[in-house]
Amino acid sequence: MAASKANNKQPVPSVWTRPERRKRDQPALSRSQIVAEAVRLLDEEGIGALSLRRLGTRLNAGATSFYSHVANKDELIELVVDEVYGEIVVPTADTPTDWRADTAKCAQSLRATILKHPWMASVLGEVGMSQLGPNLMQVSEGMLGLFKAAGLPSDEADLAVSTLTAYVIGMSINEASWLTTVARSGQSEREWVANLWPSAEEAAADHPELRERYAELRDQDPRTIRDKKFAYGLERVLDGLAGTVGNRAV
């Protein structure tokens, strides 16, 4: 009996590792309705506002209405993260020579998606088995295809995907956190940065390299600065991967 119970126990707690619960009758809400409204709530109010009770109020339904689709808030977050990953564009790997441009487009799409949904910064890396979600699986499949089309074997293609996504997610999470702080101020990014400059320059008074760099950045558009930083790092990552691709072609 004990062995039977152990075998029936869910080995890894995740919405993706268990079958959907059986419905006693036709549910009032579909999973897609719940997830879509949860994404809207997160976009409008941030991760701190997300709860089954709050979501139920927005959908005019009790929290128990969700339990045929999700067991708890953690599973709901897995679902919304995968939903957002469905917005990422991965070009089709048509020819080996296009791999770099196609990979850059994918990286830019991943960044744009995270910045569109800045609450992602607080959940990526701690959302259970998110990699098992259908949309994230599709993105991963497409990215592997790009690097395999470039000539990398499966093991190196997998490592290349991990390297690229680590860079993009790391940079984008920092940007999303920054933009969330700016949004809370009620000011535009330009206004926020303009108000921040005097304190930044005072802090850099004893640091000549920083003082010189701040002087160069003083009147530049902060969004343009962020775009340049991201593009520079992306190009350097792709330079490194291009070396690996080139060595494989020899």
* pLDDT tens digits, one per residue of 103-139: 999 999 999 999 999 999 888 766 556 778 899 999 9
Tokens of 227: 């775009």
Give dist(CA 20, CA 41) in Å, integer.
24
Q: What is the DSSP letter of 20?
A: P
Highest mean pLDDT: which range of 63-67, 194-198, 231-235: 231-235
Question: DSSP code of 23?
Answer: P
Q: How far is CA 172 from the centre of its chain?
A: 8
Q: How confident is the model at residue 2 (pLDDT cuts 50, 70, 90)?
A: very low
Helix (H/G/I), strand (E/B), else coil: 137: helix
Yes or no: say if 190 and 222 are a contact pair by the CB < 8 Å rule.
Answer: yes
- The pLDDT of residue 65: 72
pLDDT surpassing 80 at residue 6 = no
- 91 Cβ neighbours under 8 A, 6+ residues apart: 98, 102, 105, 106, 142, 146
Least confident of 5-14, 151-160, 195-204: 5-14
Question: Which residue stretches of the chain are H helix?
Answer: 2-8, 31-45, 52-58, 73-85, 99-116, 134-149, 154-185, 189-203, 208-217, 222-249
Residue whose structure tokens are 């470039």:
150
Question: What is the pLDDT, as a whole number, of residue 111?
Answer: 97
| 207-229: average pLDDT | 95
Could you tell me which of 173, 190, 201, 200 has the C-alpha nearest to residue 224?
Answer: 190
Q: Above 90 in pLDDT, residue 227?
A: yes
The pLDDT value given to residue 5: 45
Which structural domains are found in the chain, ordered by start? 2-84 (1.10.10.60), 86-186+220-249 (1.10.357.10)
Most confident of 15-24, 92-101, 144-153: 144-153
Q: What percentage of the chain has pLDDT greater than the value 90? A: 61
Average pLDDT, the chain: 86
- Give the type of residue at 30: S
Amino acid at 74: D
Predicted local confidence at residue 175, as pLDDT:
96
Predicted confidence band at 9 (pLDDT cuts at 50, 70, 90)?
low
Tens digits of residue pLDDT in 55-84: 888 888 876 677 778 878 888 898 999 999
